[in-house]
A = this chain, B = another copy of it.
Amino acid sequence: MSDENLKATPALPLKEACVRAAIDVIREDGLEKLSLRDVARRLNVSHQAPYKHFGLKDRLLVEVIRRCLRSFAEALAASGQGQNGPDEAMRALGEAYLTYAVQFPLEYRLMFMTPWPADAKTAGLSQDARAAFDILTHRLSALKPYVSDAERDRDAMFVWSSIHGLASILQSEAMQYLSFSDADAQAAVAHAMDMVDVALAQRRP
């Protein structure tokens, strides 16, 4: 036996522990409830300890967004397995997207409905976002042949904006505000996805 049991609660380096605690807070209560001091309290550490690792609150936030983007991209990529054709794979992607948005609304909001910290671009978040987007472009390429990447990207942008719009409406209370019943809402979602398929199929070879 080594001396593991001697140290109290090392387990994780504090930096990593901060990120995880922050994700917990956001998952539970949302971004606006996130405070560095609260994170510190949860980890039984002084209110300045997290500051040593992330000089600014925003820099912790960037790290959290990065994690979210990656786990989101993983969920999307996993949706492809065991599908028969490109059509089903495409549909599965859309459903995985919506599922994620509904299952983790606060993370989804953080990634796509919240202004990113100013230094997000320098921090390389763009690449993680692009990785998620490219899952979509790849499936589109399997679906129909494109003469150029630009043409494919236009289709991708259409699909993405439609699904994203749907997701963001779903995870807000907009449906309730417009007094849609649950059944109506579900039907509307299915219909919207059909419409996307229809539009994509329009000029398919």
Contacts and interface: CB of A to CB of B under 8 A. Distances in A.
Interface of A: 30, 109, 112-116, 120-121, 125-126, 129-130, 133, 150, 153-155, 157-158, 160-166, 168-169, 172-174, 176-180, 184, 187-188, 191-192, 195-196, 198-200, 202
A63 to B, nearest CB: 17
A168 B157 contact: no
Q: Is the interface of A mostly helix, strand, loop or mixed?
A: helix
Number of copies: 2
A167 to B, nearest CB: 8
A91 to B, nearest CB: 16
A138 to B, nearest CB: 15
Contacts of A184: 150, 153-154
A174 B30 CA distance: 21
A115 B169 contact: no
A15 B165 CA distance: 35
